[in-house]
Each structure stands twice: as structure tokens, then as C-alpha cells.
Amino acid sequence: MAIEIKVPELPESVADGTIATWHVKEGDKVSRDQNLVDIETDKVVLEVVAEADGVIGKISAEEGATVKSKEVIGSIEEGDASESSDSDDKEESKKEAAADKEDTSSEEKSSDEESSDEENSDEDASGEEIEVKVPELPESVSEATIAAWHVKAGDKVSRDQNLVDIETDKVVLEVVAEADGVLSEIIHDEGANVGAKDVIGKIIKGGEAKSEGKSASTKESSNDSGSDKDSDAVSPSVRRLLAEKDLSASDVKGTGKDGRITKEDVEKHVKSAGDKKSESKSEAKSESKPAAVSGDRTQKRVAMTRLRKTIAKRLLEAKNSTAMLTTFNEVNMKPIMDLRKTYQKEFEERHGIRLGFMSFYVKAVVEALKRFPEVNASIDGDEIVYHNYFDVSIAVSTPRGLVTPVLRDCDKLSLAEIEAGIKELAIKGRDGKLTMDEMQGGNFTITNGGVFGSLLSTPILNPPQSAILGMHKIQDRPMAVDGKVEILPMMYLAMSYDHRIVDGKESVGFLVTVKNLLEDPQRLLLDI
């Protein structure tokens, strides 16, 4: 009995998803609850598992295809089913017929096998041309960009091998080969803009190109392991990073499971290559031979990725659609640093997590939001919506870029619960496991550029929120205290706000409240 493999129910705000990676092929045996395929939405990767033991019958949606909720993307034959394709069924029937006639003469058996081989040869040599097309794009996306071709015209390709990456605003789609054959033509090169269902290349179905001799075939077979490494052992996010760094998977040594290449492997390789280049440059400078002037004044133009274009567009929209203004203050962090130093060991032993600065920032912000409800509001048309709950977005840096998952009901959380919640969101962000629910609905954002060394910045609003607070690097500075100069660990605070909702008085009052609570953390306990 055939069991349908379906796309799971997608979140309400998500119209469709993209087939990111199939972990099995047609004909593979699978066991119950085994992960079959990853489906990627804008921010979440969903896993689809097998409902029962069996054999993969048919895969109807290839990697890179856009799919809807509950759409059938494949099937499982319960038990040891045979391979599902018609050609394979014919081949299997011929093998069974040959097995039944084992008692006949060897000449007749040989004749049958030769006849079967000729039929298969005729089928392969038919030269059927298969078009390589751009998959269906999401409804809101009109075009995409060819990010990277992983094969060249004339290369031998195998079924389900990744041929090309196509980049949209948020997702990189992988286009795979529909059958074994040779890539005969590339119509659109890297960097070209393409639309849904555009033909970008062609494959001649069969074992190898007719123009290639045995030496070419041997060369291709010797490169099979490298091709497998590129397509199977590299995740889409790592492949994008490799393309950005102009690297091949064969250049990088993988340290992950089964030799898989991780982002850390790529970054380590880039750093190592940079060090070697620096050494070679130093050696070159020590030589007496003068360097060519023209080589020092070259330029390189690189087209913006679609993701970078989208980021630029959204940030500009945020500035153009709000009356954004930024107010500044500074805070003495010594009281909190002393508190952490005194109780860090006991706190960690009791709660199993270190006491950081972010929990104090969140606590102080929540208390300030209670006193200045305008900052905890948003504009909806001609109305101002005041929120009576405190969901704080925390800016988290991930391999895919900066995201702002939401820590909910912060007014009900202890310092330890806040620290644990932020750590969990950071780990999920790093692993690409954040859900749509965790990414939506924040009322106020905290971003901490201090972890990267930022001394002062003007953060940009995260619409429809009305304010965002930027924390910065803690740095020793001379300060006047009671007529004397003292060296204190100081940090600048920067709050950008929408002047359509928040007036100057409220914005300054909010920031001063945060400053006072951080400089005297006992106020957080006493609620004063």
C-alpha cells in the first residue's frame, strides 16, 4: 500500500515553503520516524518523517520546488517495494524473466541479456533533451538571481544532483537534475535575473555526452567523490557561504559528522588562507623586485545579493515610514558588575546558568515600559495600540544574519529565566531552529552592539514597534563624582523612537529610568 508524503501544516502567516534537502532517493528503504526531507520557510526548517517502514516509491517535488501546506511531495511503498520508475519496472521484469529461464541453454540466456542491453542502450542513446527550469517562486517574489552553477556545460550529471543555486529575497533554491545525463547547455549565467519556470539550461538524457570520449568519462568518474561532497555533504547555508567566499567544497576539510563541512570549517579555512596570503605578501615586500603599480590599484565590482538588496530596502522603508529620532544617555555599570562578581558563583550553582548583563537590561526595560506605556505601543492605521503585555525582541546574530526572536511575558520572568530564555533563542538561531511564533509579535527591541565592540550607534526601528534600545561597549572613562575624578566602567545608551507616538519628554524619561535602574539594581527588587 502506498503512503503519501505530505507537506506539514504551515504557520498561518506562511503561504508556502521550499524543498531544501531530500535525505533519501527513490528506491531507498526507510524506517518509521526517519527524517525524509527538510522543508524551508522564511525563518523555519520543517522536518518530514516517514509514517511507516517501507521503500520510497516516487519523489514528485524535487529540491528547490515551492510547495503548499498539505501538498503531496512523494510516496512510500510499505514493505520491500521495487523501484517506482517505469523504466526500472521494465528492467526488473526482464531480470525476473531471465531468472525463471536459468535452466535453458546459456546461449539463449546470453541472447536475452544482449536483447535487454540493446533496449536499454537504445533508451539511453535516444538523446532526450530535458529542460532545467527555475522552480515555482513564492507568490510575493517576481524574480530571482542565478547565484552559483555547480556544473559546467559538458559535465556529466546524475539524478538529484544539485546543478545550480537560485537566490530570492530570503531563500536559496536548489535546482537538481531530473535524470542522469550530460549538461549540454547553460542558457543563463551566474548573476542573471530569472523568473519562475524560465529555462536556464538543458540536459541530454543518457550516460555521457556523445562528443566526449572514454578519457572524459574516466575524468568525470574520478570526480564523482568531489561532486558528491559538494551536493550531499554540504548544507544550503554552507554552500551559500562557500559561494560568497569563492571556494569549492573540495578546498575545505570537514570536521562535522561523516566529514560534513560546517560554517566554522569554512571560516577557519578563510582565516588560514588570509594568514598565508599575509605571509606571502610580507615575503614579497622583502624582495628587491618592485611591484607593479597597476596591481595595487585594481577594483572589483560584485553585484549585491538579493538578500542584501532586501535588507537595504527594508531598512530604508523603516526610516521613511517613521518619524525616527534617537536620544542618548550613559550609565555607570559598576554596581551591576560588583553584583555579578559577588554572586556569580552562587547564581550559577543554583540556576545552572551564568548571570549576564542582558537579564538586567531586560528587567530595567520592562519596568520602564510599565511607566511609559507610549513606548510599549504601536500605530495601526489611524489608531494607537497600547500593549498590556511585555514581549521583548532580542537581537541575535546568526549565520543567516541578524534576527530578533521574542522573549515573551518578561515581566513574569526572573533573572535566571531571562538568561536561560536568551541562551535558548541564541542556540536555536545558530542552528536555524527558530519557529515563526518565536520570530513574531515583539513590542520593544533590545540590541547589544557592545558584544562586537560598538561604542556608540543609532539603532534603526523594527516596525511596527515604536522604539529600540541600543546597548554598547562598557569602557573605563574618567568621570566627575562629588567634585573628584574617578575611573568608572561607563556604557552609552541609545534609544531610537517613533516621534509620531513618543514625544521627547517620554523618550528622555524612559531612558533616564533605564539608567537609574541599572545604576541602582536594588530598585528592581523594591519596584521604585
- pLDDT, one tens digit per residue, over 375-421 is 999 999 899 999 999 999 999 887 767 788 999 999 999 999 999 99
Q: Decide if 290 is inside a domain.
A: no
Q: 341 and 267 in one domain?
A: no
Q: CATH code at 267?
A: 4.10.320.10
Q: Decide if 114 is inside a domain.
A: yes
Q: Phi, psi at residue 69, to the nearest 5°?
A: -60, 135
Q: 313 and 272 in one domain?
A: no
Which triple of cell numbers denotes residue 212? Answer: 566526449
Q: 253 and 216 in one domain?
A: no
Q: Decide if 157 is inside a domain.
A: yes
What does the alpha-carbon distance between residue 488 and residue 476 come to, in Å, rounded to a whole number? Answer: 5
Query: Which residue, of 231, 265, 299, is where some domain finishes?
Result: 231
Per the CB < 8 A criterion, the answer to whether 449 and 472 are in contact is yes
Q: 220 and 110 in one domain?
A: no
Q: 453 and 344 in one domain?
A: yes
Q: CATH code at 139?
A: 2.40.50.100
Lowest average pLDDT, out of 218-222, 334-338, 456-460, 521-525, goes to 218-222
Mutual angle of helices 86-100 and 106-124, in 10-degree steps: 170
Residue 281's pLDDT is 56
Residue 344 confidence class, pLDDT cut points 50, 70, 90:
very high
Beta bridge partners of 278: none
Residue 205 confidence class, pLDDT cut points 50, 70, 90:
confident
Per the CB < 8 A criterion, the answer to whether 459 and 71 are in contact is no
Q: 496 and 362 in one domain?
A: yes
Residue 286's pLDDT is 52
* H-assigned helices in 405-476: 415-431, 436-439
Residue 227 confidence class, pLDDT cut points 50, 70, 90:
very low
Lowest average pLDDT, out of 23-27, 411-415, 464-468, 491-495, goes to 23-27
Q: Decide if 203 is inside a domain.
A: yes
Look up the domain containing 177 and give its range: 126-231
Residue 223's pLDDT is 45
Q: 278 and 150 in one domain?
A: no
Question: Which residues does 519 contact at the CB level (< 8 Å), separation at least 6?
Answer: 331, 332, 335
Q: 132 and 114 in one domain?
A: no
What would the 3-class secondary structure string for 70-139 be? CCEEEEEEECCCCCCCHHHHHHHHHHHHHHHCCCCCHHHHHHHHHHHHHHHHHHHCCCCEEEEECCCCCC
Sign of CA dihedral 242, 248, 254, 258: positive
Q: Decide if 433 is inside a domain.
A: yes
Q: The cell 529620532 sits on which residue?
A: 325
Residue 293's pLDDT is 53
Q: Decide if 383 is inside a domain.
A: yes
In angstroms, how far is CA 449 from the centroid of its own chain? Answer: 22
Lowest average pLDDT, out of 71-75, 195-199, 282-286, goes to 282-286
Q: 454 and 359 in one domain?
A: yes
Q: 205 and 261 in one domain?
A: no
Q: 264 and 174 in one domain?
A: no
Q: 357 and 500 in one domain?
A: yes
Q: Give the pairing type, strands 193-194 and 406-407.
A: unpaired
Task: Give the total number of structural domains in the chain.
Answer: 4
- The residues assigned a catalytic role are 499, 503
